[in-house]
Amino acid sequence: MSKIPVGVLGATGMVGQRFIHLLADHPWFEVTSLAASDVSAGRPYGEACHWVLPSALPEKVRKLTVQPVESLPDCRLAFSALPSEVAGRVEEYLADSGLVVCTNASAHRLDGDVPLLIPEVNAEHTALIETQRRRRGGQGFIVASANCSATQLALALKPLHQAFGLRQVSVVTMQAISGAGYPGLPALEILGNVVPFIEGEEEKLEAEPRKLLGELEDGKVRSAPFQVSAQCNRVPVRDGHMECVSVQLGRQASLEELIAALEGFSAPPEVAGLPGSPPRPIVVSGQDDRPQPLRDLDAGEGMSVTVGRVRACPLLDFKFVVLGHNTVRGAAGGAIHNAELLVAQGWVS
Amino acid sequence: MSKIPVGVLGATGMVGQRFIHLLADHPWFEVTSLAASDVSAGRPYGEACHWVLPSALPEKVRKLTVQPVESLPDCRLAFSALPSEVAGRVEEYLADSGLVVCTNASAHRLDGDVPLLIPEVNAEHTALIETQRRRRGGQGFIVASANCSATQLALALKPLHQAFGLRQVSVVTMQAISGAGYPGLPALEILGNVVPFIEGEEEKLEAEPRKLLGELEDGKVRSAPFQVSAQCNRVPVRDGHMECVSVQLGRQASLEELIAALEGFSAPPEVAGLPGSPPRPIVVSGQDDRPQPLRDLDAGEGMSVTVGRVRACPLLDFKFVVLGHNTVRGAAGGAIHNAELLVAQGWVS
Amino acid sequence: MSKIPVGVLGATGMVGQRFIHLLADHPWFEVTSLAASDVSAGRPYGEACHWVLPSALPEKVRKLTVQPVESLPDCRLAFSALPSEVAGRVEEYLADSGLVVCTNASAHRLDGDVPLLIPEVNAEHTALIETQRRRRGGQGFIVASANCSATQLALALKPLHQAFGLRQVSVVTMQAISGAGYPGLPALEILGNVVPFIEGEEEKLEAEPRKLLGELEDGKVRSAPFQVSAQCNRVPVRDGHMECVSVQLGRQASLEELIAALEGFSAPPEVAGLPGSPPRPIVVSGQDDRPQPLRDLDAGEGMSVTVGRVRACPLLDFKFVVLGHNTVRGAAGGAIHNAELLVAQGWVS
Amino acid sequence: MSKIPVGVLGATGMVGQRFIHLLADHPWFEVTSLAASDVSAGRPYGEACHWVLPSALPEKVRKLTVQPVESLPDCRLAFSALPSEVAGRVEEYLADSGLVVCTNASAHRLDGDVPLLIPEVNAEHTALIETQRRRRGGQGFIVASANCSATQLALALKPLHQAFGLRQVSVVTMQAISGAGYPGLPALEILGNVVPFIEGEEEKLEAEPRKLLGELEDGKVRSAPFQVSAQCNRVPVRDGHMECVSVQLGRQASLEELIAALEGFSAPPEVAGLPGSPPRPIVVSGQDDRPQPLRDLDAGEGMSVTVGRVRACPLLDFKFVVLGHNTVRGAAGGAIHNAELLVAQGWVS
């Protein structure tokens, strides 16, 4: 098939750059439009953008003229890396205009008829698109990917929720600096330091996994009934969020059953074949001192999460550590993965 | 009064060096003997020791001849920075020989008649010394200071335990590399990385706070009845352990009461006057993004812990962050503080 | 004597904060006025300033109302931490209005009648003030402190220039992130990285040492006749610039003579007694692997430079490494030191 | 053709591991033997080795039994990652026994009849093998790859030496921690610090480039007649050595000619086709702030060096910055590249 022309909103920012990088050789999608703020609009992308990724800026993208964010001509799908404060309005406008928007922004994540989507976790939530289309009266719609920390947590929780149910989840994060975008944190704030606060992050981490693991009922998602308590920290690591998690299950399980559930987890068939699906969504490590950002970041080319140190918890039932690649699975890679699912399910044509 | 002659066991290691540094201008103690392993014994300290602290090696210590660990002539008190594997035997031998041993090693921390001591937390536990002396049949005894992570946790928990009781404590640590001693972690393992494992640390952190906050009954310490669940991580920070803590209290309390208990906490009078006692054992920060190792490490010259981000917890009752100076309050500084208490209470003469 | 009331220009920036910190307990000066950009003017300093130093904001400064930069009422001397682009005009205006301005900005450093001053290096250059006052027709004047890298280089070169003459100086720097001010470098740019470029730095480092070591002739400074070649790099170090230097001398000297010149260097008597003068302006280390930012940064409370690895150079004559505290000696501390000299010499009254 | 069976000496160390990693899918070589010290010999490699690379240990290597270093049965070529203190004797013994040894150790680099080899720089130096074989009276011989810092310097100097001649080279390095092997530097020594000393490194960097760029005359290599002055520093970077270089040329050249020489440099035809040869041995960057380890390390899959900031030098003629991948081009990758050249030239059969 010929590739689907796609656009990137907020193309000059760091997540925008990662979209462009990850889409450079995508088998299904081809970047044909870029949009950014008024400062950049009208200029060639190569000039408008301060490219900060280690990989080179793809040549055919370099010459594209940056558009204003309201207009993405000739695209059938747009990836949004817009900053939250403008994402809400612009994405709404574009979806109302008939475009499919796969967004990484937080603005619409908790909207009732917007699927908050991770293909391996809740592919069936795309059913919300029907409702959303009815509201808009057209073919356009928004699908959101979750916060980076919430994404990797939800992936690790999915098999436990499925097999045993979940009652309580306690999570403390140690998050990489790339999660704050560019320029992000001044080096003076984080070199050799830990900052025990990330604006808005704990709220997202306490809410989003519940929607992600929620059940579809009468065209709505009912949030999963467990409670989450989150504490979020920034650490001097470039890429890769670590999460120390404790869980109380819905029913009793042995450590062996728990590990078996994690190791046995696989994507449903319609998801397993997507270009962005890793062989194993969850890699379980048996080594004492793993996962580590240094060693496990690239599992599944950044699309797998790695779980380790699975053991009993004296307070809740079990505890473990989850590592995910915050700028691949947790951002641009996740949104592209969602778009692949939409194509596979026939929502994009 | 003339100063009390003291010795340092394991004087060439990193904790040993910190003892020497912190004792350099101590008003009550004077270092007159140094002991280390056979490799170093017989040589002048300045030659035997690879001094790694930023501060200069005190001149009068440089020329002291290093002794074998079994002999500390002319001392009335010894600070032990011995490695765990030899500490057990050597400290026992020296205490049996009549010496007072203030140890930073873990070997005897949980022994029934050895006080595990933090002056502001459980000064009354020194009563165990009587029992211990009876066992030994002499004037010598061992007093232990707690693991660095356990020390700062116990300090933060003390006012809560006192005011409201404690049922459950969940703690995730982000610990500095200096906690691993010298040479400690290879730079290749931790630069830009997080390691989610520290040998033996979680066990100590789950056990020691309960003894520290335990009650003295019939000449024994009954461990406090709360449960602790710990997850320990190493982060690329030089000094200062961070702990994300959640607590369930024994009785209901408001956030204001909790903060008031933390802010109002002070040492008992016999402790407040010790040279090593900081003005406030617990400093409470109201800023969103504090405490941080970079900014709060030196509170109370490293003898205060800083508590911040006190807030409600959706699972337990409250959560907060504690920072402590792992090589001052959490190691040599804590053991010296204990020795000061022993002098004040008349156990050393 | 009662303290001299002084002001700080650009008080909310990082260098401004260091001025305030270093002046907090100064024996001769008292901060009575603060000035900053229009955004901050009119607000209490404690509110207008995002204080980023580890030490606490001094209480009596917290409540001072920030002034516009053109007005520093009741001050006899102002320290300027203004950004270069406004420093030129504002400092000129204030000096013309009769104020003594000790500036850390680069705008006027190379002006013919502005002394570029390091007390131990060229205290006699203050003679330029006469010429400058004549030009202005009043008592005000500007005295500049040099670029941080140039300052520590000039200090190390001074005794060599004095004893042997200098023909060529090759210098490669490894500079700390604090040199870039706040917010300075994004952590994403420098964590685990080296950036081989600092805007404008090489030009300063090639020009300023020549003026600093220049000779006063007929009321002008004739730049010293040696050539400097500089290459400047940013490294992930918080504070402390390292410089690898090679020199060709004006006359032959042995390694012993060179070291003796460095070790024997002392400030002239009028400088040695200033509050900011360290016991030894140059500390020479004989250890193979020194100086290091970690271990030698605070020599002379940040006012000494440390020189090490002095050895023969196969190309020029000798090579060595110099470390200096870029935010103390190399910035606010240096400017205050200059002001002390002005007081001692009677230029401020 | 069927693959050539090769062995790795010192297989359990960090360079040994990189040999194994880089040889895993090599088109010409297959690892069939591993040798290490007596502690490891006799055990399966997967058990004997503490694998520290981010990539997984190749499965077919995991089960190989580690041999003692004196015996590499069935190999026609051995890669040596032995520590210097044993490399001298063992490599000599194996070469005398008829084996081809491509070594990364320093022991034999400056031996008169041992080629110190970089394929793009001095492929013709393999002629020394004849002499060496005569000395040994057999088919075995040793070929050495250069020190990591010397390798990247020699590569960058080659086109300049060729086009203009070289008289003087001044170089200051900022070297990554991986260059020190494993465990290498304690994190406490280098996190947020710079260490201005690397044992033996300056001597190598001052000698090896002269042999590498030397001329073959009467079966000997006459060292190139330029002088090198080196200052070596360790910085908190994981991989990638940076070098600030100044050169004085043998004849006058313009900046444009110099850049053209660097950009136009290519490997001789017999080298260009080797599996390990990058498309361009030298990548020239025109950006002000490049090269950087973060962004340019993987140029040519780690086999290219990146040169940037080429500009005039006030003392010598020109200065520039070179970055190379110290553990690929500068270690295992370079030795494998040498072995490829030996095969191409018919020295291994």
Which residues, other chains included, contact B295 with Cβ-Cβ below 8 Å and sequence gap of 6+?
C54
3 state SS for C234-266: ECCCCCCEEEEEEEEECCCCCHHHHHHHHHCCC
**DSSP summary character for residue C332:** I
pLDDT at D16: 95
| Min Cα–Cα distance to chain C from D199, Å | 9
Q: Which of A177, A182, A183 sits opposite C191 (nearest CB)?
A: A177
Report how far residue D117's alpha carbon sits from residue D322's, in angstroms, rounded to the nearest whole number.
Answer: 19
Q: What is the mean pLDDT of residues A115-141?
A: 97
CB within 8 Å: D54 and A295: yes
- What are the residue ranges in chain D where pLDDT is below 50? none
Which is the catalytic residue, given C148, C232, C325, C337? C148
Report how far residue B53's alpha carbon sits from residue B331's, in angstroms, rounded to the nearest whole number.
Answer: 15
Q: Which H or E element spans position C68?
A: strand C66-68
C164-214: per-residue pLDDT in tens?
Answer: 999 999 999 999 999 999 999 999 999 999 999 999 999 999 999 999 999
8 Å CB contact between D114 and D133? no
Q: What share of chain A is helix, strand, coil (3-state, %, to 5)?
A: 35, 25, 40
| Min Cα–Cα distance to chain D from A290, Å | 12
A312: nearest CA in chain B? Answer: B229
Cα dihedral value C279, C280, C286, C289, nearest 10: 90
**Is pLDDT of C1 > 70?**
no
pLDDT at B84: 86
User: What tokens were used for D197?
Assistant: 């000393």
8 Å CB contact between B329 and B303? yes
D188: nearest CA in chain A? Answer: A192
Which residues of C sit within 8 Å Cβ distance of D?
A: 168-170, 172, 174, 189, 192-197, 206, 227-229, 231, 233, 235-238, 242, 244, 246, 288-294, 308-309, 313-316, 319, 321
- Surface-to-core class of residue C349, CB atoms within 10 Å of its CB (0-12 exposed, 13-18 middle, 19+ buried): exposed
Which is the catalytic residue, given C21, C125, C241, C325? C241
C84-97: per-residue pLDDT in tens?
Answer: 889 999 999 999 99
- The identity of residue B270, as a single letter, is E
Report how far residue B40's alpha carbon sits from residue A12's, in angstroms, rounded to the nearest whole number.
Answer: 61
With cut-offs at 50, 70 and 90, classify the pLDDT of residue A71: confident
CB within 8 Å: A292 and B194: yes
pLDDT at D70: 87
pLDDT at B53: 87
C183: nearest CA in chain A? Answer: A186
Which residues, other chains included, contact B346 with Cβ-Cβ below 8 Å and sequence gap of 6+?
none
Which is the catalytic residue, given D49, D75, D102, D148? D148
Which residues on C lie below 8 Å from A178 (Cβ)?
188
Which residues on C lie below 8 Å from D316 (Cβ)?
229
A230-272: per-residue pLDDT in tens?
Answer: 999 999 999 999 999 999 999 999 999 999 999 999 999 999 9
Report how far residue A299's alpha carbon sits from residue B245's, in angstroms, rounded to the nearest whole number.
Answer: 30
- Helices then strands, each counted (H, E), chain D: 13, 14
User: What tokens were used for D240?
Assistant: 């990638």
Residues above pLDDT 90, as percent of chain C = 92
Q: Is A21 a catalytic residue?
A: no
Which residues on C lie below 8 Å from B298 (Cβ)?
54
User: What tokens were used for A111?
Assistant: 């909207």
Q: How many CA atoms lie within 13 A of B174 on its CB side?
A: 34
pLDDT at B1: 63
Which residues, other chains included, contact B85 with Cβ-Cβ below 8 Å and sequence gap of 6+?
none
**Closest to A24 measured CA to CA, from A48, A54, A50, A57:** A57
Which residues on A lie below 8 Å from B294 (Cβ)?
189, 192-193
Cα dihedral value B101, B107, B112, B117, nearest 10: 50
pLDDT at D1: 63
Q: What is the mean pLDDT of residues A161-187?
A: 97
Which is the catalytic residue, given D125, D241, D325, D337? D241
Which residues of A sit within 8 Å Cβ distance of C?
A: 52, 177-178, 182-192, 236, 238
Across chain A, mean pLDDT equals 96
How far is CA A71 from each of CA A37, A86, B92, rounded to the nearest angstrom? 12, 14, 79
B154-213: per-residue pLDDT in tens?
Answer: 999 999 999 999 999 999 999 999 999 999 999 999 999 999 999 999 999 999 999 999
Q: Which of C54, C192, C294 sits opposite B295 (nearest CB)?
A: C54
Which residues on C lie below 8 Å from A189 (Cβ)?
52, 183, 187
Helix, strand, or coil here: B20?
Answer: helix
CB within 8 Å: D294 and A54: yes
C169: nearest CA in chain D? Answer: D315
| Min Cα–Cα distance to chain B from C26, Å | 22
Which residues on B lie below 8 Å from D184 (Cβ)?
186-188
C238: nearest CA in chain D? Answer: D192
Which residues on D lie below 8 Å from A283 (Cβ)?
none
Q: Which of B231, B236, B289 sits opposite A244 (nearest CB)?
A: B231
Runs of H (alpha helix) within chain D: 14-23, 45-48, 59-62, 84-96, 119-122, 128-136, 148-164, 187-190, 201-212, 255-263, 269-272, 293-296, 333-345
**Is pLDDT of B349 > 80?**
no
Q: What is the mean pLDDT of residues B252-259?
A: 98
Which residues, other chains included, contact D91 with Cβ-Cβ below 8 Å and sequence gap of 6+?
D9, D80, D82, D101, D103, D105, D107, D108, D142
pLDDT at C53: 87
With cut-offs at 50, 70 and 90, classify the pLDDT of residue A1: low
Q: What is the mean pLDDT of residues C259-286?
A: 97
Q: What is the mean pLDDT of residues B239-264?
A: 98
Report how far residue B83's alpha carbon sits from residue A149's, in angstroms, rounded to the nearest whole number.
Answer: 39
Mutate to test the interface with C, among A188, A194, A297 (most CBs of C within 10 A): A188
**Closest to D106 measured CA to CA, from D136, D69, D145, D77:** D145
Q: Is B21 a catalytic residue?
A: no
**Is pLDDT of B52 > 90?**
no
Q: What is the ipTM of this complex?
A: 0.96
Q: Which H or E element spans position A222?
A: strand A220-222
Subunits adjacent to chain C (3 or more Cβ pairs under 8 Å): A, B, D
CB within 8 Å: C168 and D228: no
**Is pLDDT of C271 > 70?**
yes
- Surface-to-core class of residue C288, CB atoms within 10 Å of its CB (0-12 exposed, 13-18 middle, 19+ buried): exposed
8 Å CB contact between B276 and B329? no
Q: Which of D197, D233, D244 sits opposite C231 (nearest CB)?
A: D244
Report how far residue C91's alpha carbon sits from residue C111's, in angstroms, rounded to the nearest whole number.
Answer: 13
Mutate to test the interface with D, among C168, C188, C195 (most CBs of D within 10 A): C195
**Closest to C140 measured CA to CA, from C176, C110, C103:** C103
Q: Which H or E element spans position B261?
A: helix B255-263
**Is pLDDT of A220 > 70?**
yes
Subunits adjacent to chain A (3 or more Cβ pairs under 8 Å): B, C, D
8 Å CB contact between D119 and D271? yes
B299-346: per-residue pLDDT in tens?
Answer: 999 999 999 999 999 999 999 999 999 999 999 999 999 999 999 999
Q: Which of C54, C192, C294 sits opposite B54 (nearest CB)?
A: C294
Distance of CA A71 to the CA centre of its chain: 25
User: What tokens were used for C197?
Assistant: 């470029």
Rg for chain C (alpha carbons), in Å? 19
Q: Which of A196, A228, A291 sits opposite B242 (nearest CB)?
A: A196
C245-260: per-residue pLDDT in tens?
Answer: 999 999 999 999 999 9
Which is the catalytic residue, given A49, A75, A102, A148? A148
CB within 8 Å: B186 and D186: yes
- The identity of residue B67, as a single letter, is Q
8 Å CB contact between C298 and C325? yes
